Structure 1
Amino acid sequence: MRKIVIAGNWKMYKTQSEAKAFFAEFPAQLNATAKAASVTNQQILICVPFTDLAISQVVASSVTSPSIHIGAQNLHWTDCGAFTGEIAAPMLVELGIKFAIVGHSERRQFFGETDETVNKRLKAAQKHGITPILCVGESKQQRDANETEAWIFSQLEYGLKEVDQQNLIIAYEPIWAIGTGDTCETAEANRVIRLIRSKLSNPDVTIQYGGSVKPENIDEIMAQPEIDGVLVGGASLDATGFARIVNYQSP
């Protein structure tokens, strides 16, 4: 059975004091919006800025029901070195971090991330027992040019070289839907994710959808059979709203 992973990505938001305030409220909101029947194969994951990792891990580890995992938003492909501003996998492991986003479109767009560096980061994460979340997705220009499938297949081909698909999460994030309020039609997201799965050697890889996910559309998104969770941006910053997303209503 494929695992359901509901993940938040705080991006460059929240100081340590703001992170503490979030986690002081979030567990109660989870219980307040809890489903009648819990999903036993579901994980809750929040990927926070590097400065919030330690405090978030301490606070989240004190919440035992349901368990909340903390993830990083990136990691370097070497264990140490002269790479100012980067974070190495052993540094994350020391904090007990077991998840990391790799290849987010904002890293590709603003910081020169390539399929080659994505591949290196994926393998570095797995080397240290960290489960990477590989982000793939097309721009509005590529979609309008009917290049969606070719672009994503290329990202998978080069990004997943020599990567262990037993320890992997993939997030399909159409770039044109990230932070725009313009969510991809659920049937279309389901279609693309089905195509992504067809290119994998392991059919049980969790594949999420990401892109303007909100409490208002989470139920429709999660009703799609190929979608195994979501990677949530702005809506994960609000404890009440993110709790509702975690506790989506199954059809």
Structure 2
Amino acid sequence: MRQALVIANWKLNGDTALLKDMAEHFHHVDIQEQVNVVICPPAVYLKTAAVLFEPSGIELGGQNCSEYGSGAYTGEISAEMLRDIGCEYVLIGHSERRALFAETDEMVAGKIKQAQQCNLRPVLCVGETLAEREANAVESVIRGQLEKALGEADFNNLVIAYEPVWAIGTGKTATPEQAQEVHKMIRDWVASKAPESAQKLQILYGGSVKADNASTLFHQADIDGGLIGGASLDTEQFDAICQAAKDI
């Protein structure tokens, strides 16, 4: 059995007040034995988050890491630095990083390698654009992203998040059937590379997940939880999404 996993990606949002509010809320919510909950705030808040969330058992993740381990790379944050301040996870290859900051598949592969070398669990984000879906290229696009990113990866220390680009921050959500179809395809691809890991691997759905659609999505056979954007900035709504994941 795979344990449910819900990850909050705050992106360029949030502040100390939100951290305190959410930490206080989850300190009184007994959920960790049934759902792994991870918060990915902006990097400047990670150390504060580590202190505030420790009593609740909520884990931390970085939103990104460098493909380099150290050196003259001003503004970069290494995987080792994230691990050093208490992170367990790191998001890699999010569509916003690919589209807005020109991250290539080769860069994504380098970041995954760095993360795994530092005992961080990378959360590889994959997904297609609306044009690619309408061209019936979903499978080829996502298989290509997987192949290029995971050629040297350890499948036992990995999470994959399927986020259709057309559903991120748009209010549009893949139907449960659409999401399940892609999740199964991803699991089948992993099985072809690492059969012993495929059924253990957590595969998350992301893309306008909210409290009112989380349960239906999470009840699909190959969806193990969610990578949550905007809804993770509302403590009550994020808690409702985590509660929905308890029943997977």
- Give the TM-score, by structure 2 length: 0.93
- Which residue in 2 is equivalent to 1:181? 171
Quick one: which amino acid aligns to residue 237 of structure 2?
Answer: G
Distance 2:82 2:141 in 1: 31
SS of the residue corresponding to residue 101 of structure 1 reads strand
Q: Identify which range, 19-28 or 187-196, moves more after superposition.
A: 19-28
The CA deviation at 1:16 is 2.6
Distance 1:22 1:107 in 2: 26
Within the alignment, does 1:250 sit opposite 2:247 as a pair?
yes
- Which residue in 2 is equivalent to 1:51? 44
Q: Deviations over 1:65-108 (max 9, x none)?
A: xx211111000122211212210112112211111000000000
Q: Deviations over 1:12-54 (max 9, x none)?
A: 00123432233223434x35xxxxxx68452011111101100
Quick one: which amino acid aligns to residue 44 of structure 1?
Answer: V
Distance 2:131 2:145 in 1: 16
Q: Which runs of 5+ in 2 are unaligned?
A: none
Distance 1:125 1:219 in 2: 31
- Which residue in 1 is equivalent to 2:27? 27
Alignment of 1:9-24 (within 5 A): 9-24=9-24
RMSD: 1.5
Q: Is contact 1:9–1:47 with CA below 8 Å preserved after alignment?
A: yes
Calculate percent identity across the aligned residue pairs: 40
- Which residue in 2 is equivalent to 1:88? 78
Q: Is contact 2:83–2:118 with CA below 8 Å preserved after alignment?
A: yes
SS of the residue corresponding to residue 119 of structure 1 reads helix
Q: Deviations over 1:185-237 (max 9, x none)?
A: 00110011000111112212110000000000011011111101100000001
Q: Is contact 1:26–1:240 with CA below 8 Å preserved after alignment?
A: no
Select the structure that is richer in helix.
2
Alignment of 1:153-232 (within 5 A): 153-200=143-190, 201=194, 202-203=197-198, 204-232=200-228
Q: Deviations over 1:102-149 (max 9, x none)?
A: 000000000011110000000100001000000000000100111111
Quick one: which amino acid aligns to residue 250 of structure 1?
Answer: D
Quick one: which amino acid aligns to residue 79 of structure 1?
Answer: G
Distance 2:33 2:22 in 1: 24
- Which residue in 2 is equivalent to 1:113? 103
Q: Is contact 1:135–1:171 with CA below 8 Å preserved after alignment?
A: yes
Within the alignment, does 1:237 sit opposite 2:233 as a pair?
yes
- Which residue in 1 is equivalent to 2:67? 77
Q: Is contact 1:177–1:212 with CA below 8 Å preserved after alignment?
A: yes
Within the alignment, does 1:2 sit opposite 2:25 as a pair?
no
Within the alignment, does 1:128 sit opposite 2:118 as a pair?
yes
Distance 1:39 1:90 in 2: 26
